[in-house]
Amino acid sequence: MTFGEYLQRQGVEANLRDVLKTVAAIFPKIAEAMRGGLEGAAGSKNVFGEGQLKLDVFSNDLFTEALTRHPYVAMVASEELDESMNGPAGDEGYSLAYDPLDGSSLVDVNLAVGTIVGVYKGKGFVGRKGSDQAAAIIAVYGPRLTFMVTVGHGVTEFIYDWGKKDFVVNHEDVKVGESKKMFAPGNLRACSDPQVKWYVDLMHFWLTNEYTLRYSGGMVPDVNQILKKGGGVFTYPGYSEMPDGKLRLIYECAPMAFLMEQAGGVAFSAGGPILDMTVEKIDQRTPIFIGSKKEVELVQSYFKK
């Protein structure tokens, strides 16, 4: 089954189908640019002051060019852009928040990277919640080109068939179990902060209870692994230097949370479920604990101590 057929079978309305197919068509272009060896610094910085790579700029341009002209797109916000941009559609259109190439600094060492997209019905992001998303996608550029998608009825994985030039189903009904001894601990720097002693204690628990470490440094492949392997936990806490951590709500955490919840897992910030957080500004950050329900509860039990 192709992605187009899947969307139709899911009963996704025609305009959203069109938007999602436009998004999916960008993924092989990014993969090809990486295969072709596009690398190096672009000499510019994004809104967060982070140096941009040529690949960041290239990937962002693909999204911006395709979506800001799309008749059913009302607004876009990109991790690589200072401000959101309007599309031609009004309130009846869709708003898309995306990180065009998450973990791009891993490309030159040939590790997997990804794209993250959250789609909201209507115009704008501020005042919305992750639970308002109509769809979420994470694409993984590794040995294979795959993506996980939800339109609110479970999660399905697609793989790109380079011969057919289309995405076909690779894993139906992706499920995350209640527990699995696999951990992906982001921001271990927080362990040197006396305020975050709970993270050291949690680490000690994982290390002395036969948990398997699976951490690549890219949130997309790390969370994708939890979805594919049916469980585990990914953490990225804040610390004194960055109380809300590094990861952004609309570009990274909300789409991941939507996918995880649709697969049967959970995603929490320090205060509550990620999907219940109201977007106050487009560059908002949040700590995140995401994965199997019981593994996230365990993290929270340490966090609350």
Which residues of the chain form contacts with ligand AHG (CB under 6 A)?
Answer: 50, 102-105, 186-187, 217-219, 246
* Nearer to ligand AHG among residue 6 and residue 236 (C-beta): 236
Residue placing its CB nearer to ligand AHG in the complex, 94 or 303: 303
Indicate the residue among 2 and 216 with the shorter CB distance to ligand AHG: 216
CB of 218 to ligand AHG, least distance (A): 5
Tell me whether residue 187 or residue 224 sits nearer to ligand AHG (CB atom): 187
Strand pairing report for 73-78 and 94-102:
parallel
Cβ proximity to ligand AHG: between 19 and 190 the closer is 190
Residue 259 CB-half CA count within 13 A: 29
CB of 80 to ligand AHG, least distance (A): 9
Residue nearest to ligand AHG (CB): 219
CB of 98 to ligand AHG, least distance (A): 12
Q: Is the dihedral of CA 123, 128, 134, 135 positive or negative?
A: positive
Instruction: Rank residues 218 and 291 by Cβ distance to ligand AHG and give the closer one.
Output: 218
**Taking the complex as a whole, how short is the minimal distance between the CB of residue 51 and ligand AHG, in angstroms?**
9
- Least distance to ligand AHG, CB of residue 240, Å: 15
**CA proximity to 115, closest of 251, 260, 281:** 251
In angstroms, give the least distance from the CB of 165 to ligand AHG.
28
Residue type, 261: E
Any residues with CB less than 8 A from the CB of 59 and at least 6 apart, and which?
26, 30, 33, 80, 100, 101, 104, 115
Task: Determine the Cα angle at 64 with ends 62 and 70, to 5°.
Answer: 105
Query: Cβ closer to ligand AHG: 186 or 232?
Result: 186
Nearest approach, Cβ of residue 196 and ligand AHG (Å) = 14
